[in-house]
Structure 1
Amino acid sequence: MTGNTTSAAFLRRTQNALAMQRKICAQPEETAERVFSDILSVSRDTGFGREHGLAGVRTRQEWRRAVPIRTYDELAPYVERQFSGERRVLTTDDPRAFLRTSGSTGRAKLVPTTDHWRRVYRGPALYAQWGLYFEQIGTHRLTGDEVLDLSWEPGPIRHRLRGFPVYSITERPVSDDPDDWNPPWRHARWFTRDAGAATMADLLYGKLLRLAAHDLRLIVSVNPSKIVLLAETLKENAERLIQDLHDGHGTDRAARPDFLRRLTAAFDRTGGRPLLTDLWPGLRLLVCWNSASAALYGPWLSRLATGVAALPFSTTGTEGIVTLPVDDHLSAGPLAVDQGHFEFVPWQDLDDGSPLPEDTPTLGYDELELGADYRLVMSQANGLYRYDVGDVYRVVGAVGATPRLEFLGRAGFQSSFTGEKLTESDVHTAVMRVLGSERTDHPHFSGIPVWDTPPHYLVAIEWADAHGTLNVQDTARRIDATLQEVNVEYADKRRSGRLRPLQILPLVPGAFGQIAERRFRQGTAGAQIKHHWLQKDSAFLDTLRDLDLVRARPGT
């Protein structure tokens, strides 16, 4: 089979998968019933199934009565039984590997993955998702060099636990299974992990170098932070890139003189700080999460790739896919009823994120109300049954008969010492209003809750020379005042003295980049490294001090 034939077959597969996804959205009932029946089929004749009497379960109501809602920690003993070598614990198809979560909201979880789940669920979903992106850029053929896929990093299995492979969903080995996700670029040099890349910036520079001379039209990432880092890597290495392309260093051959002249002229026009569109004028689409705290990257992305459209990546985690984009909505997609059995609990912002009671009443996808917020309970064919995910979604519309859901964050994702319910968006808005967004092209601050008598918030900010004559104490007062304008509960607690005034912790320039690189060196996949504009507790201070990132207080 020739490359062009392979490419055509791949594109047809994505187009067919997208068409099927749209058909499911129009009439989801039959698919939802099929998925529920499949979950029963893979769970009945198992240790879990016998313990919960699933042989007698036929309906959703019986399922709810038989299986309690559980957190991951409550499901973990079943996962441990799989590790111990027991067969058919959660699913009739035993795990082939375990997927490790990023651990950004606590200790890392280990999620079983089976051949059945990968082939029947996750693989087809990825084809449908990419079908939308190819449709948006009008691609009718692929060589594999029109796409920069940052959504996962292929690599060998580096960790095993009691004989089972363990890896993250975004740093997994390449599969040649024809029923799995098999993009044409899976063996391309720009895609495969460069063993000599010691840092994320090195890894991304290698991709820039190998794709620089190609007509790149699409960049796909999970987290927007990785696209921001890609753009920063380009700006910081513009001269080096031109020289390496001229010499053929790190590439198959030296670039053509006419291409180098065009690129040099484009870079010169930017003062040596090119945008992604200066390197790739044909760039048409950026894909990444665009909701919840990821939406705060919007201003950066619009400056780094001026005029380039943006679409959301699927709302997906290691545990499973929840929404799949099928159109040009900027931040939300329809519920992926073909991926699992989903239940919903009405959510109020008084919810502190505590585990749901095991018998909490739930609603089906067809009972949700427009504009309402819900906490998700999910059952997937990987063995996580009635799993209390802790994620909150808002119904923002519908696609056919399927609700369109926007991810809001995790239940209890506010910080609240005294009822102030501070959010990442609150902190981001206050700091950006005071400092502006023109001083930097990357996330450079984070709020830290500090318990004391009374408690207070600390904002760690990379304090560069670009801050000029700004006074730290005066800036802290201005951010505190702005935060009171943004959040009335915070203002009330400040006036009553239940919260002390906000303080600033100046950091060395590039501090948050160093933190990300540290996590990368420790083995966290680049796609799983997230920036938080508000930390969950003051433990983050230990990281700042361990890396010696706190600088002497300037301008005090």
Structure 2
Amino acid sequence: MKASLINKAWLLSQKSLSKQFHQNAHHCQQTQDLILKQYLQLNATTDFGKKHQFDRLKSYQDYVQNVPVIEEFSEMENFINDMKSGRENVLFAGKTLFFETTSGSGSTPKFIPYNTRLKKEFKAAVAVWMWDLYRTDPKIFSGKAYWSLSPALKETSTTSGGISIGTGDDSAYFDPVTAFLLKQIFAVPPQLNKIQDVHEFYIQTWCYLLRASNLSFISVWSPQFLLRLMDFFVENFQQIRKESGMSLARADLVWRAIEEKHLSLDLLFSGLKLISCWTQGHSKIWIKKLKEITGAVPIQGKGLLATEGVVSVPLGMNQHVLSYTSHFYEFKSEEGKVCMADALRQGETYEVIITTGGGLYRYNTHDLVKCSGFYKSVPCLEFLGRSGNISDLVGEKLAESSLVEIFHQALSTFPSIEALYLYSERQQHMAGYVLVIESSTTIECDNIVRFVEEQMMTNPYYKQAISSGQLNLLKAASVDGDFTRRLTRYYQSTKGIKDGDLKLPLLFPSGFLDPILK
């Protein structure tokens, strides 16, 4: 069956969920109230529900008074351990289908339980996204698609209770019919995920991609993953050419583009219509570099979707809307006040708190979002970064989320810069920060440091720390154009993060970068 027909069958299965989202968008809060009520009723007899008297909770106010906000995943460890042992009706009614692991901002893996309801909630979000893309440009679904795959970090394992840990591919998040249809249009088969040899994984990935002459859609998480894919292609072109069976004419064309340093994805895949990846938060600073390899292919920013749940979905190319039909959401203001979606104010910043069908209750994701407006009554959200990565040596309260825009401006102002990072260090009897400047050419570090520090001075706490002599002025460390690649490998090996899930920090603690700076 042709990919276009399979795509259409899959998309038609998403239409009703998308229609429901748009029709009820004037009634965001009523929908949210209903979702919370369903959670409380469905899970009243679970261990968590009994502990927090779900059967007596009749309103949002009751929920707030009886269930505290969970600031750290470790607070749920006893419940999760019971579920890993195979117990049912712990956090949600019924059994656990599988666990997905994520490191978050810490080094200890978090085990996120999945059930049928949580999978439906993910499907509700993806349906809105996919149908909107189809209405925008049906040609995006005219051929095969590449959905994110990463080389395996370890062999498949199970918990003590025999529950699977990890999924083979993105289709595992969906219902069986959707998963079946998705697998028919995948350009790269999910089985490749089982390959543990990283080099062989990328060779085989490229072989499958190059044989997909009708590739029309690429969906990955991190833009750095696509950059890594293209770097690997250039470095290993001769082996990929042989194993993929590339024709001589095509190989000559590609080789000339490599030599002339203008190889792009639209040259490799003439039918490619859209690339979907993160474009906000940390990923924002990589978009300039990504556009150098995408050619004329447009890039759509993904919504805010994590292993724990989905927060927003993209509508059009620039709007990200709260996925209000998926989970129940709360938002914590900068002053520490918690409110529901209907109380958000445009221009203000919040941390996202989610309650899901997968057994997370008032869980603070520590994702920072800014309310950028509204779609009918539904808040539109811009992802700023994580709230957890803050350096505070002497009271300067330097947040990584504030560095994103500063570094983005610096990269635009100084085109020779390839990447920027910041780390703290003890300098004799003082403390200070070092700006790591990556470039393949000779650069004027003083001008770049001056520009970045002027922007950092808009933080009154940082400015006061400098003015009072508690912090030294910003220093520079110039590194070659291979630094990000080495840092990526080091960070992934240290944290145990898969290629496709990588969110490389911009702010590092003292000593962390020492092994690769020496």
TM-score normalised to structure 1 length: 0.80
Aligned-residue offset at 1:89? 1.4
Q: Would the aligned equivalents of 1:334 and 1:399 in 2 still touch at CA under 8 Å?
A: yes
Counterpart of 1:467, as a letter, is T
**Aligned pair partner of 1:279 in 264, 268, 275:** 268
Residue in structure 1 matched with residue 301 of structure 2 by the alignment: 312
Q: Which has the higher strand share?
A: 2
Do structure 1's residue 417 and structure 2's residue 393 form an aligned pair? Answer: yes
Q: More displaced, 286-295 or 185-194?
A: 185-194
* Compared CA separation, residues 439 and 208, structure 1 to 2 (3 A): farther
Aligned-residue offset at 1:373? 1.6
Residue in structure 2 matched with residue 161 of structure 1 by the alignment: 159
Residue in structure 2 matched with residue 351 of structure 1 by the alignment: none
CA distance in 2, matches of 1:19, 1:259: 43
Residue in structure 2 matched with residue 346 of structure 1 by the alignment: 333
Unaligned runs of 5+ in 1: 349-355, 552-556
User: The residue matched to 2:517 in structure 1 has which SS?
Assistant: coil
Please provide the CA RMSD for this pair.
Answer: 3.4
Counterpart of 2:300, as a letter, is L
Residue in structure 1 matched with residue 501 of structure 2 by the alignment: 528
Q: Would the aligned equivalents of 2:217 and 2:274 in 1 still touch at CA under 8 Å?
A: yes
Residue in structure 2 matched with residue 456 of structure 1 by the alignment: 432
Counting only pairs closer than 5 Å after superposition, residues 107-126 of structure 1 correspond to structure 2 as: 107-118=108-119, 120-126=120-126
Q: Would the aligned equivalents of 2:29 and 2:341 in 1 still touch at CA under 8 Å?
A: no
Aligned-residue offset at 1:167? 4.0
Residue in structure 1 matched with residue 229 of structure 2 by the alignment: 230
Q: Would the aligned equivalents of 2:152 and 2:195 in 1 still touch at CA under 8 Å?
A: no
* 1:484-520 deviations in Å (ceiling 9; x for gaps): 3112244443343211233344556534323433565
Q: Would the aligned equivalents of 1:98 and 1:110 in 2 still touch at CA under 8 Å?
A: yes
Counting only pairs closer than 5 Å after superposition, residues 97-496 of structure 1 correspond to structure 2 as: 97-118=98-119, 120-139=120-139, 142-144=142-144, 147-150=145-148, 158-165=156-163, 167-168=165-166, 174=172, 177-178=175-176, 181-182=179-180, 183-185=182-184, 188-189=187-188, 191-193=190-192, 198-199=197-198, 203-213=201-211, 214-238=213-237, 240-241=239-240, 244=241, 247=242, 249=243, 251=244, 254-256=245-247, 259-260=250-251, 262-263=253-254, 267=257, 271=260, 273-329=262-318, 332-348=319-335, 362-422=338-398, 423-425=402-404, 428-429=407-408, 432=411, 436-438=414-416, 440=418, 443=419, 445-451=420-426, 453-462=429-438, 466-468=440-442, 475=445, 477-488=446-457, 489=460, 490-496=462-468
Residue in structure 1 matched with residue 45 of structure 2 by the alignment: 45
Q: Which has the higher helix share?
A: 2
CA distance in 2, matches of 1:209, 1:67: 51
CA distance in 2, matches of 1:127, 1:138: 15
CA distance in 2, matches of 1:291, 1:264: 33
Q: Would the aligned equivalents of 1:394 and 1:405 in 2 still touch at CA under 8 Å?
A: yes
Residue in structure 2 matched with residue 353 of structure 1 by the alignment: none
Residue in structure 1 matched with residue 8 of structure 2 by the alignment: 8
CA distance in 1, matches of 2:291, 2:261: 19
Unaligned runs of 5+ in 2: none
* 1:46-69 deviations in Å (ceiling 9; x for gaps): 111111111111211111122111
* Compared CA separation, residues 16 and 235, structure 1 to 2 (3 A): farther
* Compared CA separation, residues 412 and 255, structure 1 to 2 (3 A): closer
Residue in structure 2 matched with residue 554 of structure 1 by the alignment: none
Residue in structure 1 matched with residue 512 of structure 2 by the alignment: 540
CA distance in 1, matches of 2:178, 2:38: 19
Residue in structure 1 matched with residue 482 of structure 2 by the alignment: 510
Aligned-residue offset at 1:448? 1.0
CA distance in 1, matches of 2:81, 2:310: 23
* Compared CA separation, residues 169 and 369, structure 1 to 2 (3 A): farther
Q: Would the aligned equivalents of 2:152 and 2:194 in 1 still touch at CA under 8 Å?
A: no
Q: Would the aligned equivalents of 1:174 and 1:186 in 2 still touch at CA under 8 Å?
A: no
* Compared CA separation, residues 154 and 540, structure 1 to 2 (3 A): closer
CA distance in 1, matches of 2:148, 2:2: 26
User: The residue matched to 1:317 in structure 2 has which SS?
Assistant: coil
Aligned-residue offset at 1:39? 1.0
Aligned-residue offset at 1:447? 1.1
Q: Would the aligned equivalents of 2:151 and 2:196 in 1 still touch at CA under 8 Å?
A: no
* 1:178-219 deviations in Å (ceiling 9; x for gaps): 2554414476545542655633x6534433332225133322
Q: State the 4+ residue runs in structure 1 displaced beyond 6 angstroms.
A: 1-4, 151-157
Aligned-residue offset at 1:400? 1.6
Counterpart of 2:53, as a letter, is G
Aligned-residue offset at 1:479? 4.1
Q: Would the aligned equivalents of 2:79 and 2:90 in 1 still touch at CA under 8 Å?
A: yes
Q: Would the aligned equivalents of 2:354 and 2:365 in 1 still touch at CA under 8 Å?
A: yes
Aligned length: 507
TM-score normalised to structure 2 length: 0.86
CA distance in 1, matches of 2:351, 2:317: 25
* Compared CA separation, residues 134 and 156, structure 1 to 2 (3 A): farther
* 1:141-197 deviations in Å (ceiling 9; x for gaps): 6552xx222267799971222134454578568579525544144765455426556
* Compared CA separation, residues 395 and 485, structure 1 to 2 (3 A): same
